[in-house]
Structure 1
Amino acid sequence: MCGRFANAMPVDLMRELFGTTGPLPNWEPSWNIAPSQKAPIVRLRHETGQCHLDLLQWGLIPHWSKEVGRQPINARAETVASSPMFRSAFAARRALVPASAYYEWQRGSSPKQPWAFRHKGGGAIALAGLWESWEHEGELIRTFLIITTQADALMRPIHDRMPVAVRQADWPLWLGGETRDAQALLRPETSDTLECYPVSAVVNSVRNDGPQLLERDESARSLR
């Protein structure tokens, strides 16, 4: 699964990188984004054919829901296109979730050891996501989730799931392509483009934030 990630990029950098138009959201970089919090995502406005960078709440509320109910933060790549809860969003409301890194907690470690995953040499990761608009009694809430897939060789010693990362060349296809073509992109990032390392357990608390959260925890090196 993916239950925490970092986005240290300022909004003007994200606009340049993802080619978005329109007003920029009021966003401060965060190294510890958690479910129920808002984060920038890239959405394609089909009526204009342009991409926008908007702040949405993490935890999807389907547009057809009669109440807030369960708010999943992840959807499985294997079933996202056919699941009644996600299939309409997958067909029409796919998104990119910009990230500097994401975290995963090692199974079987006590206390649970967090690991950071990021591109070698830095750079943005574009996580595959879905978004929805939910309106009820005049209240409008826009939400998103992150799609996960089976772990690759890098992630497998730590967890059996990992978020889907979309390569830059495939961003237009993911955002605006046909459903069948988008499904073909739901695969793990190859291990030769990512690196991982243990980080301090201070990331476990959503109250903690700052670039120090992505520093390597040398004391945990032997856990993997």
Structure 2
Amino acid sequence: MCGRFALYSDFPSLARSLKLPLAEGELTPRYNIAPGTWISAVRRHEDGCQLGLDTLWWGYRPHWADDKAPQPINATVEKVATSPYFRGAFAHHRCLVPADGWYEWLAVDGRKQPHYLTRGDGEPLWFAGIWTDRPDGKPGCAILTEPARGIAKAIHPRMPLTLDQQSLEPWLDPELTDRETIRHLVHHLQHERLTHWPVSNRVNKPVEDDPALIEEER
């Protein structure tokens, strides 16, 4: 799954990584981003042309759902295109959630050890996401997850769908709505590019938010 992540790259670094025209934006470094908070995401503006770095609520609830409807933070790749709750957003409201890495917890000797997963080359990651207008009129989103691959599999059975460079533009293309076409054009980042290490249990508390959280615990 993806329930906690970090984003500390500055805007120029993200724009350079995206390699697509991106309207100006600002970012505050965050090392312990938790669900139920505002997060940064790249999506197309209403004109369908310009990309913007917007702020979305990390919790997905469509505008037509009632107050008792769930607010998932993740949507699985297996069901996102067919589930009545998600399929409209998958076809028309896809976004990219930038991250420098994410956290997963590994059971070790009866306790859960947090690990930080990131790219070995230090480049930002791009999580596939979907968004919707919530009942309160504000945008909310969910991050897609897939079965874990490579080194991530040793930590947790699922991981965020992290896209490779060639997939970023088609994922954001509003003209692409067909599930099979999207599946053909969009691919995940090669798992060989990922690395991980154990980090402090301080990350368990969302109020903790500083660069030391991503340092390797020895």
Give, in whole Å, the separation in 2 of the partners of 1:22 and 1:107. 42
Give me the CA root mean square deviation: 2.0
Residue pairs, 1:34-183, within 5 angstroms: 34-45=34-45, 47-67=47-67, 69-107=69-107, 110-135=110-135, 139-176=136-173, 177-179=176-178, 180-183=180-183
Structure 2 CA distance for aligned equivalents of residues 109 and 73 of structure 1: 29
Once the two structures are TM-superposed, the CA of residue 47 in structure 1 deviates from its matched residue by: 2.4
Paired residue secondary structure (1:115):
strand
**1:8 to 1:213, Cα distance in 2 relative to 1, 3 A:** same
The normalised TM-score by structure 1 is 0.87
2:4 corresponds in structure 1 to 4
Structure 1: gaps of 5 or more residues: 219-224
Q: Secondary structure at the match of 2:202?
A: helix
Indicate the SS of the match to 1:112. strand
Q: Deviation per CA, 1:63-99, whole angstroms, max 9, x where unpaired? A: 2213263210001111110011100000001110000
- Give me the whole-angstrom Cα distance separating, in 2, the residues matched to 1:120 and 1:33: 21
Structure 2 distance, partners of 1:60, 1:49, is 24
Task: Give % identity.
Answer: 35
Structure 2 segments unaligned to the other structure (5+ residues): none
Aligned counterparts of 1:10 and 1:145: Cα–Cα separation in 2 = 23
Structure-2 change in CA distance of 1:156 and 1:185 (3 Å): farther
Distance 2:215 2:164 in 1: 25
Q: Which residue type is aligned with residue 83 of structure 2?
A: S
Secondary structure of 2:151's aligned partner: coil
Offset at 1:62?
A: 1.2
- Give yes or no for contact 1:149–1:186 (8 Å, CA) kept in 2: no
